[in-house]
Structure 1
Amino acid sequence: MHTGDLAVMRKDAYIEIVGRIKDVIIRGGENIYPREIEEFLYAHPKIAEVQVVGVPHERYREKVLAGVIPRDQADPLTLEELRAFCEGRLAHYEIPSRLRILASFPMTVSGRVRKIELREEPARER
C-alpha cells in the first residue's frame, strides 16, 4: 500500500510517521523532514504555530523556511532568535535560514495548510 507517508520503525517495533514524501526538503544532498523540525520548534516560547517548507536555492537546491504565527504579534520572533534556539539542537542543515512571520496560514477548504503557497511566495520575492 502506497500512502505517500514517510515512516520509521522505532526500537520498540512501533512505526512512527515522520512526514510526507512530497514534503521532504533536499538541501545539499541531505533529506530534511519538516515535521521533525516543526515539532522541535513548537518548544520555542514565542511560537504559537509553525510550518516548515523548502524554498529554492541556487547552490543547495533548497533551503529551509519556517513560517511562524507568533504567540504575541507585538513581539514576533526574529531569525537570529530562531537560529540561536536551534543551534546545537538540530543539524546545521536543518536550521531554518529564512523566517516568515504570518498572522495565519493559507488553508484549503478542508482545513489543511497549503504549504505550496508558503513555498511560492518566497520564490517570487527573489
Structure 2
Amino acid sequence: MAINFNKLTLKSQEALQRSQEIASENSNQQIEPEHIFEALASDPAGIVTSILAKLGANKDSILSNNKEFINSFPKVSGANSGDPVLSRNSTDVLDSAFKEASAMKDEFVSAEHILLGIAENLKSKISNLLRNNGV
C-alpha cells in the first residue's frame, strides 16, 4: 500500500517529520515505530499524552524505556548518513493506521490511528512495552 501523506492530519504529518528528526539526531538510518511513538508522546498538547493518561499508563517510564530502544538502534555516520527513511516496521504501522482510519470511516489518519498501528505492530519493541503497560 502506498502511503498518501496528504491523507494525514497536520498533527500526524508533524509527528512523522519529528520522528525523522529524532532518527537523524540519533544517527539512525531508518525511522522505526519507536521514533514515531517518541514524536507522538513527546507532544504535550498531543492526544497521545492524554490517551496514555486515561489508560493509566506511566508515560515517563514508557518514554524512558523507548529512549533506550532508540539508543540501541544501529548508528551511521559519514557518507552513509543521509536522511533517514521509513523502515519496513514503520511502513507496516502506517498501513495499519490507514486501515484503522478507513474502518472508522475517517477521511484522515490521525495520531490515534498511528498509535493503534504502533500497538498492533508486534515486531516492534515499543508495541510490547505499550501492551505491558496496559495500552
Normalising by structure 1, report the TM-score.
0.25
With CA pairs under 8 Å and 6+ residues apart, which has the higher RCO, 1 or 2? 2
Instruction: Judging by fraction of residues, say which structure has more strand.
Output: 1
